[in-house]
A and B are shown apart, each in its own frame.
Chain A
Amino acid sequence: MEVDTAKIDSIIEKYNRDRSYMLAMFQDVQRLYRYLPKEAISYICKQLDIPFSKGYEMATFYKALSLKPRGRHTIHVCLGTACHLRGGPNILETFERELHIKTGETTEDGRFSIETVNCLGACALAPLVRVDEHDFGKTTQAVVKKIINEFTDGVKS
């Protein structure tokens, strides 16, 4: 995959080429491509004079970073304690069943990816689902179908 080095350069400059912000740079790149392309890791490492292996190590350590392309919408099902107790695992299963994919996978049409997250900090509204930047509290199995429809029909882009 070819990456836009001009865009990546501007991300690197935004953090004053400071190596301690490599994670933040990766996160910004991921926002561009919805994942972190190998070429981008390699490019950033070269620019910062850091071994590629260190960049790869970081990219695989942090759960927020994905080395695989993600769908247009990422469904984060919260499995924090409160969500676990109030049926989060069932919500996750329902998403998997409805979309015919497992956690960590992307639907064939590239529309959805499912991921889990260990607490989004809105425990009072458990079980919680976050799709892109929209939060859905007190999710039920019926709401799962509604969410999928809402994003499929382009109500939310």
Chain B
Amino acid sequence: MKEFKINGRKVQAEKGETVLEVARREGFDIPTLCYHEKLGSDGRCRLCIVEVQRGNRRRFVTSCLYPVENGIDVYTDSKDVILIRKTILELLLARCPSSDIVQHLASEYGVHDVRYTKDVDKGKCILCGQCIRTCESIVGVSALCMSGKGPAKKVTTPFDEPSEVCIGCGACAVVCPTGHIYIEDRGGYRTIWRKKFELARCPQCNRLHAPIEQLEFISKKTGVDIDELLICQNCK
């Protein structure tokens, strides 16, 4: 058991918990964009930064990764913490001006004007990496990756071409916090990451429900017969 303070209030936590987990449980508001309960933390967006004082040492840490410690003082809304959040939100707003969630968070922090030239080529992607982590560790295919570095970094498939291994499951689009990933089901086909997938039709209700490649992938992984998987969730 660890005991420390958040904004002056005493809190308790289990060893191994992060400051963010404890703060949220205790009702303190810390904004996040790249954090996901199931996928864990990667410390990319930096929005969840808090100020931690330990003895005389004051430092700024990402609460999503920082393990709780006895006797620390955590501040979730100090002057510098607010400055950091505003700065990050203004930077993200300049990068993804059309992202609703970024707009929403920015206005919450009073960031209305962007002092920079707005990007037109980044879409709504804030490079949180949740799609890549989902594809790799939840779906288990690793179709996506980051390419390049610095401001040119982007999420993509190898060589920006349709991926051989992508099964069209769309989990990346579901998990994306900004709605950047384009997925379209039309005319019996799904298009995602420049690849077109034929959708399976449920033999019972005749509904199109999932890409055939995805069902084949599941069948191969689980050993369940493909005919069984062709039946949609509603009819099972």
Give the B-binding residues of A (Cβ under 8 A).
Answer: 38, 41, 51-57, 60-61, 67
Give the A-binding residues of B (Cβ under 8 A).
Answer: 136, 141-149, 157-159, 163-165
Minimum CB distance partner of A56 in chain B:
B158
Cβ-defined partner of A52 (8 Å) among B136, B147, B149, B164: B164
Chain A at the B interface: mostly helix, strand, loop or mixed? helix
Does B147 contact A51, Cβ atoms closer than 8 Å? no
Does B165 contact A61, Cβ atoms closer than 8 Å? no
Does A53 contact B149, Cβ atoms closer than 8 Å? no
Contacts of A61 in B (CB 8 A): 146-149
Does A56 contact B165, Cβ atoms closer than 8 Å? no
Contacts of B164 in A (CB 8 A): 52
Cβ-defined partner of A54 (8 Å) among B145, B148, B157, B163: B145
Given contacts A38-B159, A51-B165, contact A56 B147 (CB under 8 A): yes
| 12 residue pairs from A and B, CB less than 8 Å apart | A41-B158, A51-B136, A51-B141, A51-B142, A51-B143, A52-B158, A53-B157, A53-B163, A57-B147, A61-B146, A61-B147, A61-B149
Contacts of A56 in B (CB 8 A): 145, 147, 158-159
* Chain B proximity of A83: nearest CB distance (Å): 21
* Chain B proximity of A65: nearest CB distance (Å): 11
Once the chains are docked, how many angstroms separate the CA of A56 from the CA of B144? 10
Contacts of B143 in A (CB 8 A): 51, 53
Contacts of B148 in A (CB 8 A): 60-61
Once the chains are docked, how many angstroms separate the CA of A53 from the CA of B147? 9
Minimum CB distance partner of B147 in chain A:
A60
Once the chains are docked, how many angstroms separate the CA of A52 from the CA of B157? 9
Once the chains are docked, how many angstroms separate the CA of A57 from the CA of B147? 5
Minimum CB distance partner of A38 in chain B:
B159
* Chain B proximity of A22: nearest CB distance (Å): 14
Once the chains are docked, how many angstroms separate the CA of A55 from the CA of B164? 14
* Chain B proximity of A19: nearest CB distance (Å): 14
Minimum CB distance partner of A51 in chain B:
B142
